[in-house]
Amino acid sequence: MHTNAIPYTPVDRDAVARVAFASLRGMKLGLAHRLLEHLPDEKTFFTATASQLSAMLGFSTKLLDSDLRESTLKKAREELHFTTASGIKPLYFTDQDFPERLQQCDDAPVLLYTLGHCDLNFHRSIAIVGTRHATPYGIGFVNRLVDDIAETLPGTLIISGLAYGIDITAHKAALRTGLPTAGVLAHGLSTIYPSAHRQIAADMVHGGGMLITEYPHDAPVHRGNFLARNRIIAALADCTIVVESAEKGGALVTAGIAQSYDRDVFALPGRTSDPYSKGCNRLIAGNSAALIQNADDLMTAMGWMQEKSVQGIQKEIFTVYTEKEQEIIDFLSTNGEGHINTMAIALNTPMHKLMARLVDMEFKGYIANYPGGRYRLA
């Protein structure tokens, strides 16, 4: 989106090291965690000698080549120069506002480039995906669904891929109803693909939405990147809704990835004779997706009906908690919600003991369990 020459902007060395570290070939969240268990910080990876790194890591790899590391640093400086001047915000996996849902996925990117402003950690997030050849049936369903979500669950984040068909319909519906919407791109932020969606992308950036990519600004459109970006769409969402798909297609890939992340998958059924309902019907028939016909189906399955009601689960006014229960209540009150892994670390509690305590508190009606191992006060 930005092609003109831009003035030089100084960048932070730590930030350069993080961007360079994230751009190493094959770098994903799981690998980053394993490497940083043996390194004091990312800068060390680029300042230590190859032999020092090999000793610290316990193995040797081509990534330790000094010339390769220096060229990676150079590209990272150039990238940060561009992003700083262009209003693009890199989100590194140790940043406070890095998406918590991505932290649960070992194959997630270590760094995201974002343009715009929305809360990627909002406690309700829905991915809506489907065919590029959307029919009036699918388009009508998306519009009704998003209308109902906006009315009953305001603030819900709508995620898709800015592609033709169902994707762009979901983004437009979110903009129309005032819901935040994030588009995950398969290329750098210097361009928008397809170009016909430039204005929608601009509306998202300036209207409480966001563009997201794992690729540097000048990364071109590449066919293989579209399937890779589908994992980010699935990982950012509590659930994925497939609205129209042929027997093969990217939306079915996204659904499969969402399943592998233990996220809920829904599919809109259609007539057996409709070519763009065959993929959805197959997901439902194979128990790979739950059937969805309206927003109530979604809210019931996701446990969001209690948010729709005025009271939800009533809590006793003078509930007396045990000391350990109070620790969990305090954590959830402060943070809004918590993932079981995060709470185990923060509360210094063994996982099996925490799990038993959470189940007991859920049974008592103190807390509610949400997809992806997350908990909130009931």
Q: Span 296-310, mean pLDDT?
A: 79
Quote the radius of gyration of the chain (alpha carbons, Å). 22
Task: Give the model's pLDDT for residue 307.
Answer: 66
* Confidence bin at 260 (pLDDT 50/70/90): very high
Task: Give the model's pLDDT for residue 371.
Answer: 72
Task: Give the model's pLDDT for residue 87.
Answer: 93
Half-sphere exposure of 27 (CA within 13 A, CB side): 23
Task: Give the model's pLDDT for residue 335.
Answer: 83
Read off φ and ψ for residue 243, nearest 5 degrees. -115, 100
pLDDT digits (tens, 9 = 90+) for 205-234: 999 899 999 999 999 988 889 989 999 999
Task: Give the model's pLDDT for residue 309.
Answer: 54
Q: Which residues contact 111 (CB under 8 A, 6 or more apart)?
A: 18, 19, 22, 23, 90, 91, 92, 93, 214
Please name the CATH architecture into which domain 125-307 falls: 3-Layer(aba) Sandwich (3.40)
Determine the length of the chain.
378
Identify the residue whose tokens are 């659904």.
255
Q: Which of 215, 213, 168 is nearest to 195 (CA)?
A: 168
b/e burial code for range 268-287 (CB count within 10 A of at least 16 → b): bbbeeebebbbbbbebbeee
Cis omega (within 30 of 0) for bond into 194: yes
* Confidence bin at 318 (pLDDT 50/70/90): low
In one-letter notation, the amino acid at residue 256 is G
SS3 320: coil
Percent of the chain with pLDDT over 90: 66
In the predicted structure, residue 372 carries a pLDDT above the cut 90: no
- Per-domain boundaries in the chain: 13-85, 125-307, 323-377
Q: Span 249-258, mean pLDDT?
A: 95
Range list of H helices, the chain: 13-22, 29-36, 42-47, 50-57, 66-86, 136-152, 166-177, 198-206, 223-236, 250-260, 278-285, 295-302, 305-308, 323-335, 340-346, 351-363
* Confidence bin at 66 (pLDDT 50/70/90): confident
pLDDT digits (tens, 9 = 90+) for 81-101: 999 999 999 999 999 999 999
Task: Give the model's pLDDT for residue 216.
Answer: 95
In one-letter notation, the amino acid at residue 307 is E
Read off φ and ψ for residue 125, nearest 5 degrees. -145, 130
Q: Span 177-195, mean pLDDT?
A: 96
* Confidence bin at 312 (pLDDT 50/70/90): very low
Q: Which of 160, 167, 161 is nearest to 139 (CA)?
A: 167
Question: Which carries the bigger pLDDT value, residue 57 or residue 378?
Answer: 57
* Confidence bin at 190 (pLDDT 50/70/90): very high
pLDDT digits (tens, 9 = 90+) for 139-180: 999 999 999 999 999 999 999 999 999 999 999 999 999 999
Task: Give the model's pLDDT for residue 5.
Answer: 44
In the predicted structure, residue 334 carries a pLDDT above the cut 90: no
In one-letter notation, the amino acid at residue 124 is R
Distance separating alpha carbons of residues 98 and 121, to the nearest angstrom: 8
Q: Specify the CATH number of the domain 323-377.
A: 1.10.10.10
Q: Which residues contact 95 (CB under 8 A, 6 or more apart)?
A: none
Distances (CA, A) of 82 to 47, 114, 347: 24, 13, 40
Task: Give the model's pLDDT for residue 10.
Answer: 53
Helix axes 136-152, 166-177, angle to 10 degrees: 30
Strand order in the sheet with 367-370: 338-339, 374-377, 367-370
